[in-house]
């Protein structure tokens, strides 16, 4: 029954290429029909008997939102094999992973019913302007300008319209930053897609839905501490060469999964060259997380050395 429902949905909604242009629907329909042994001349209407709405998913919370995003709103290529792009996929919400001042993060499962295991993703949803805190906006938004002066004035004055623009900027800034960092080899969650102010990304954790611990939760041995520091140094160096600073780095927004360090929570990413406060943010990042390492036995001189190296790497050439 689920395959018939998916089959009917494909026929109703069509399919898209990666560049978001429509292609031959009959060919897509025939391919999907062949997959499930359907007759392309028959029209399945599985919802009629149940009285459900035609676009209700067979089970789960919603149809996959993959086709709601355009090519520019999807993650960078080459895309990991685990990313589910089928239009017949269903998104099922499994609970809250984290609540924050600007956004909440939910655990979402995406998969095509009855065709194998689904994948877990983290859905970060930015709150509307009336329910968000804007205490961090002013400094981080330096260098983020709109083409229209009226928009910039509204942002500066924090009008209702200006806050709407800022809310959208946070989500889009994080998606763009994750895409750029992932493409540059930085250990961050893969950004699957963005639709409005919802960002879907790779879930960092176990198959059972248990999120990876934060760096702050760990008590590493001396060899483990050195290994984690070396990973951090390598990732921050890659970011610095891209002219980027995290802007709010600490032991609380770094995850460690199976010994691998992963940087998260980057909506306030700072362009060190464009933002006049960029070098200060970069050095603060190093000091904040470096203090955690020093408190657990790392030589403080290594923190000083890393701060100097990163500031040198981000200077215009």
pTM above 0.85, yes or no: no
Catalytic position from the list 67, 91, 137, 265 = 265
Which domain-ending residue is among 186, 211, 236? Answer: 211
Whether 207 and 69 map to the same domain: the answer is: yes
Instruction: Measure Cα distances from 61 to 34, 94, 210 in Å.
Output: 27, 10, 21
DSSP lists the bridge partners of residue 253 as none
CATH of the domain at 172: 3.30.200.20
What is the mean pLDDT of the segment spanning 14-19?
A: 36
**Which SS3 state, helix, strand or coil, does residue 193 take?**
strand
Tokens, residue 81: 């094999």
Torsion of CA 276, 277, 280, 282, to 10 degrees: -90
Whether 48 and 90 map to the same domain: the answer is: no
Whether 177 and 98 map to the same domain: the answer is: yes
Q: Which residue has the higher pLDDT, 62 or 58?
A: 62
- The pLDDT value given to residue 134: 46
CATH of the domain at 245: 1.10.510.10
Whether 182 and 282 map to the same domain: the answer is: no
Tens digit of pLDDT for each residue in 95-151?
999 988 889 999 999 999 988 789 999 999 988 655 444 445 445 445 555 455 654
Q: Which helix (H) or strand (E) holds 121?
A: strand 119-126
Backbone dihedral region for residue 244 (phi beyond 0: left; psi -120 to 50: alpha; all else: beta): beta
Domain span at residue 17 reads 1-56
Catalytic position from the list 91, 137, 248, 313 = 248
Q: Which residue has the higher pLDDT, 1 or 78?
A: 78
pLDDT at 254 over 90: yes
Which domain-ending residue is among 211, 226, 254? Answer: 211
Q: Which helix (H) or strand (E) holds 260?
A: strand 260-263
Q: Is 230 a catalytic residue?
A: no
Residue 22: pLDDT band with limits 50, 70, 90: very low
- β-pair type (90-99, 244-245): unpaired
Mean pLDDT of the chain: 78
Whether 68 and 204 map to the same domain: the answer is: yes
Whether 81 and 159 map to the same domain: the answer is: yes
pLDDT at 9 over 50: no
Whether 35 and 46 map to the same domain: the answer is: yes
- The pLDDT value given to residue 196: 86
Of 80-94, 159-173, 191-205, the one with minimum mean pLDDT is 159-173
- The pLDDT value given to residue 6: 43
Which domain-ending residue is among 184, 211, 238? Answer: 211
Q: Which residue has the higher pLDDT, 60 or 62?
A: 62
Of 1-15, 171-185, 239-253, the one with minimum mean pLDDT is 1-15
Q: Is 248 a catalytic residue?
A: yes
């Amino acid at each position: 029954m689920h395959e018939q429902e998916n089959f009917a949905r494909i026929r109703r909604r069509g399919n898209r290429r990666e560049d978001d242009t429509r292609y031959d629907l009959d060919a897509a329909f025939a391919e999907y029909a062949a997959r499930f042994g359907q007759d392309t001349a028959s029209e399945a209407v599985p919802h009629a008997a149940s009285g459900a709405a035609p676009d209700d998913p067979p089970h789960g919370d919603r149809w996959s939102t993959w086709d709601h995003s355009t090519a520019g709103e999807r993650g960078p290529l080459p895309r990991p094999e685990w990313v589910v792009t089928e239009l017949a996929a269903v998104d099922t919400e499994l609970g809250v992973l984290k609540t924050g001042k600007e956004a909440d993060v939910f655990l979402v499962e995406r998969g095509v019913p009855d065709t194998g295991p689904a994948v877990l993703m983290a859905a970060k949803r930015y709150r509307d302007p009336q329910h968000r805190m804007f205490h961090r906006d002013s400094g981080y938004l330096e260098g983020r300008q709109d083409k229209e002066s009226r928009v910039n004035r509204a942002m500066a004055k924090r009008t209702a319209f200006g806050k709407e623009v800022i809310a959208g900027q946070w989500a889009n800034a994080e998606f763009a930053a994750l895409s750029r960092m992932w493409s540059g080899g930085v250990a961050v969650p893969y950004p699957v897609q963005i639709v409005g102010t919802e960002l879907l990304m790779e879930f960092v954790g176990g198959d059972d839905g248990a999120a990876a611990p934060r760096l702050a939760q760990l008590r590493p041995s001396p060899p483990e501490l050195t290994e984690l520091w070396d990973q951090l140094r390598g990732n921050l160096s890659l970011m610095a060469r891209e002219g980027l600073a995290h802007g709010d780095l600490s032991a609380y927004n770094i995850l460690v999964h199976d010994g691998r360090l992963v940087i998260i929570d980057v909506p306030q990413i700072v362009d060190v060259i464009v933002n006049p406060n960029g070098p200060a943010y970069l050095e603060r990042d190093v000091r904040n997380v470096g203090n955690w390492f020093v408190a657990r036995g790392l030589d403080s001189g290594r923190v000083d050395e890393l701060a100097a190296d990163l500031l040198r790497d981000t200077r215009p050439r």
